[in-house]
Structure 1
Amino acid sequence: MKQSFAVVAITKHGTALARKLHAQWPSVDVYYSKKFLHGDEETLGIVAFDESVMQLLPKLFTSYEGIISIISLGAMVRMIAPLLKDKKTDPAVVVIDDRGNYVISVLSGHLGGANELTRTVAQMLKATPVITTASDVSETIAVDLLGRNLGWEIEGFDQVTRVSAAIVNEEPAVVIQESGERNWWTYNKPLPSHIHVVRHLDEAKDEQYHAALWITHRVLTEKELTACSPAAVLYRPKVLVLGIGCNRDTTADEIERVISDTLATHQLAMTSVRNVATIDLKAHEPGLLSVCTTHHWPLVTYTAAELNEVPLVHPSETVFRYVGAYGVSEPAALRSAKAQDWLIEKVKSGNVTLSVCLVHVTD
């Protein structure tokens, strides 16, 4: 395995299609039967196999994000059936007919990206894409994908199927968006009329909906989450910036504890953190870097002069004497988030100071 996607063919015409795809998309791994060798496979990095494709597929299934098979749909379904585990982990599977007329999304259409892969391959082959996912066909909200291209995370999948059914069946649904990017609707048409978008629960709590989609950085109570509908899905946009100041050699454990305790106290979701911001003097602080690495948070740094450009309510002469800035956590958070105010101005605990801002998002 070298790439994210594999193309598999077992017939003469399928081999020709696989080579055509490879010519347009070199970043795929191609596998086809040794019976159809062209002699340039080693040069092109193509794998010619002599084993049964039934022996090959289990290896590919666990090694690639997506499999593009030029095999009949029925045969492919039978071969992958014993390999299926979970839609969150199974790879995307796409089938192309032997003449390249149709490209069919077979498995993991949404979470695995098979629908998108189908469109990409169909465009390359000038073929017809076949996608049967209801939300795609209806051009409505794909509940399990909403905001994924923006970095949003779904917190809990248990209600996704129920909410998806309400959306595709055009039952009344509400989107309660308290934070995050507002350009999540990607179709070139108005949002369906059965979907109502509000900014706060108060705008919707007097109504009853078949489904609710919450987009928020706040930790919700069960009562809040289900106030509009018992079928509710929660999305976490990346909208919190953590401004952090710390003494030299502060441990990752201490920094982690201050972050988790502070966010919990203020009912803010850890999964909504976008990045950490600090002064450039702390760019290589081991404990801080460890925490950022653990959570996959980018670390943004500013010079003392840049931090001093941010007006502070409580500038610190003590901090200025040590680092040349009148504050670290507060101005770093404010500047990185492009915000006007803090959600949490400053918490001082042991060797750590923490400030939290909500990212400014334009409509």
Structure 2
Amino acid sequence: MNTARPDSIALFCLTPGGVALAQRLRDLVPLTCFTSEKLLQPGFIPFGGSFARTVEQAFSEYSALVFIAATGIVVRVIAPLLNDKLHDPAVVVMDERAEHVISLLSGHLGGANELTRQIAQLLNADPVITTATDVNQLAALDTLAAKLDATLLDFRQTVKTINQMLVSQKRVGLWWDRDFTQNAESYDTRGFIPVDNLDVLPALDALVCVTLRDDLPTQAIPLYKLVPKRVVAGIGCRRDTPPQTVAKLLNQQLAENHFDPLALRAIGSVSLKQDEPALLELAQRCQIPFNIFSVDQLAEHEKRFPASEFVRHTVGVGSVSQPAAWLMSNGNLVGNTLREQGVTITLGVSDRC
């Protein structure tokens, strides 16, 4: 998702007062500061051609944009660039006297609300946040999803439905699968009704379940799965294996271990396979990283697993899928390795958000 990262924030200032505030703020927060040629100060970057053109470029390169400017100017310059809440960066606007910090765009998923609070606290300013869940001091499903690095089927509509239910004082339950109960209290769940047992539900209008499972007991109320992206797959395959073969076998392996396909976080293989069409297509279709490991990296863990001399002769190490999955999951492998049609797939579960 597009959550704002501290190392990826661009700041734009248009006046001498804005430059002074930017200088003050960048001592507190990692920022890349842009301004006009005539206002340029050491460490600032001049607009590339124009203010609007620079903003357009930054919109796709940074996870957050902070403007020390009038809100109307910012709205006009970003309006042609807007895509959707899943991809647009966080946009925060503040006045040059640092009286108000406004969360303008991507408040939840993009992290603009959180960034607004952070900047306002640093500058002793007034944070202006207008999202309904925040105004009503409630959690938001999209914020919870971002914190968990999780996703849902029909993400946009589901988030809209659940958040609307929360602000309408509907009874929305929240159940955490056993893999996530230990850290559940560290997340903002205000407004959700805790559910401990799926077999004995309190009176609810809907239920959200945080789980990796592909199947849950049928309920009499609407049930929505919030699926953290934790599953990794180490994959080895013969050269030019058809993409549909790899995809089918991966889905088979996920189903065998009762994982929801949405839980897939990344795939990985040996460096020799970095241009393997089937793996590149799989990563692109699932919109997940394709992690590449050198022979030396895999060889460090080769002794943990059965080795194939044919594989060693072909790629330089006796096993690919198992050590790759081991590295991506920090040793937390799950189930048996699949070996079919010249493809090997090993699954692991990462504990990282």
* TM-score normalized by the length of structure 2: 0.71
Report deviation, 1:94: 1.2
Report deviation, 1:270: 2.8
What residue is the counterpart of 2:199 in the other structure?
A: 202
Select 2:289's aligned residue among 274, 296, 300: 296
The code of the aligned residue for 2:303 comes to: A
What residue is the counterpart of 1:315 in the other structure?
A: none
What residue is the counterpart of 1:10 in the other structure?
A: 14
1:255 partnered with 2:246: yes
What residue is the counterpart of 2:171 in the other structure?
A: 172
Report deviation, 1:45: 3.5
Select 1:27's aligned residue among 15, 24, 31: 31
RMSD over aligned Cα atoms: 4.3
CA contact (8 A) 1:179 1:217 kept: no
Report deviation, 1:238: 2.9
CA contact (8 A) 2:10 2:31 kept: no
CA contact (8 A) 1:18 1:30 kept: no
Q: Distance in 1 between matches of 2:105 and 2:268?
A: 40
* TM-score normalized by the length of structure 1: 0.69
The code of the aligned residue for 2:210 comes to: I
What residue is the counterpart of 1:134 in the other structure?
A: 132
The code of the aligned residue for 1:256 comes to: A
Identity %: 31
The code of the aligned residue for 1:116 comes to: E
Q: Distance in 1 between matches of 2:259 and 2:25?
A: 47
Task: Count the aligned residue pairs.
Answer: 328
Q: Deviations over 1:12-49 (max 9, x none)?
A: 32232123234444531322473xx3xx63x4243168
Report deviation, 1:296: 1.1
Q: Distance in 2 between matches of 1:129 and 1:18?
A: 17
1:141-220 alignment to 2 at 5 Å?
141-157=139-155, 158-178=157-177, 180-182=179-181, 183-186=183-186, 192=190, 194-198=192-196, 201-204=198-201, 207-220=202-215
Q: Distance in 1 between matches of 2:99 and 2:309?
A: 71
Q: Deviations over 1:267-300 (max 9, x none)?
A: 633331245578xxx5645549757865415467
Would the alpha carbon gap of residues 11 and 228 (structure 1) be closer, same or farther in structure 2, given more than 3 Å must change? farther
Q: Deviations over 1:138-162 (max 9, x none)?
A: 5543201214234322332212111
> Where in structure 1 are there 5+ consecutive unaligned residues?
309-318
CA contact (8 A) 2:268 2:290 kept: no
Q: Deviations over 1:239-265 (max 9, x none)?
A: 43446565x547373433421344357
SS of the aligned residue for 1:17 comes to helix
Report deviation, 1:164: 0.8
1:265-276 alignment to 2 at 5 Å?
268-274=259-265
What residue is the counterpart of 2:123 in the other structure?
A: 125
Q: Distance in 1 between matches of 2:54 and 2:326?
A: 54
What residue is the counterpart of 1:311 in the other structure?
A: none
Would the alpha carbon gap of residues 118 and 360 (structure 1) be closer, same or farther in structure 2, given more than 3 Å must change? closer
CA contact (8 A) 1:170 1:194 kept: no
> Where in structure 2 are there 5+ consecutive unaligned residues?
1-6
1:95 partnered with 2:93: yes
1:352 partnered with 2:328: no
Would the alpha carbon gap of residues 356 and 179 (structure 1) be closer, same or farther in structure 2, given more than 3 Å must change? farther
Q: Distance in 2 between matches of 1:82 and 1:328?
A: 46
The code of the aligned residue for 2:207 comes to: A
